[in-house]
Amino acid sequence: MSGFTTLLARDLRLVLRRPGDVGVVLAFFVVATVLFPLGIGPETNVLARIAAGVLWCAALFAALLSLERLFAADYEDGTLDLLLLAPWPLELAALAKCLAHWIVTGLPLSLLAPVLGIAFGLDGPSLLALGATLLVGTPTLSLIGGLAAALTLGARKSGALLALLALPLCVPTLIFGAGAIETLAAGDGIVTHVAILAALALVALATTPWAIAAALRQAGE
């Protein structure tokens, strides 16, 4: 377990030393979201209707944007070779990297999205639901995205390919994440949606670390 925490702490420290990298992702999220009212028009009822979908999609794109570098730096400078040689499971290393990615992107995105939701005219319960679903749903995005990042390590045009691989697999999370706010508007609770999001996150947690580790082993060969 000490390897896990060491790697996690190292990744977080790397981000702390260069906070601009995370700042760019969050700025992208804000700018991409702001484009929608400009493109669609300022009617509050229309914006409130599409807010959840827009914010969820923007969060998905923002998370993908930062994933390309998840393993690439370690791959280039040889850290990955050391991780492959390390006497503890590569699956844990994969999990630590994804957790670090979630802490620096998924978590801030979940906190930032309700603030942007205010500008879209969402009411109080919807804002809470938006934050809650993102909080439960973004770990899945980090895990699936981590898999796509590991698979495309060293590939040509890895950025676009990463999105092509990750986006179809993220569809269930998007549907239940954005759907929760719609259910709330219809007068029902969001417990079911949050529970399914949590289930999706657990399925991802149970499957992706093995697949990421397998992909990393090939990259190291």
182 binds other proteins (CB under 8 A): yes
Choosing from 92, 96, 113, 211, the residue that interacts with other proteins (CB under 8 A) is 211
- Nearest approach, Cβ of 2 to other proteins (angstroms)? 28
In the block, tokens 């906190």 appear at 111
Residue 133: name the closest of 189, 61, 62, 66 by CA: 189
For residue 40, which phi and psi values (nearest 5 degrees)?
-95, -30
- Nearest approach, Cβ of 168 to other proteins (angstroms)? 4
If the CB atoms of residues 34 and 160 are measured against other proteins, the closer one turns out to be: 160
158 binds other proteins (CB under 8 A): yes
Asked if residue 11 lies in contact with residue 97, where contact means CB atoms within 8 angstroms, the answer is: yes
Choosing from 111, 155, 195, 202, the residue that interacts with other proteins (CB under 8 A) is 155
Per-residue interface string for the shown chain with other proteins, residues 115-154, x marking contact by CB under 8 A: --------------------------------x---xx-x
**Distance (Å) of CA 179 to CA 49, 85, 174:** 11, 44, 8
**What is the rounded CA–CA span in Å between residue 11 and residue 214?**
21
Choosing from 92, 127, 165, 201, the residue that interacts with other proteins (CB under 8 A) is 165
Q: How far is CA 152 from the centre of its chain?
A: 17
207 binds other proteins (CB under 8 A): yes
Q: What is the DSSP letter of 69?
A: T
HSE toward the beta carbon, residue 172, CA cutoff 13 A: 14
Neighbour count for residue 207 (Cβ, 10 Å): 13
22 binds other proteins (CB under 8 A): no
Residues that bind other proteins (CB under 8 A): 147, 151-152, 154-158, 161, 164-165, 167-169, 171-172, 175-176, 179, 182-183, 200, 203, 207-208, 211, 214-215, 218-219
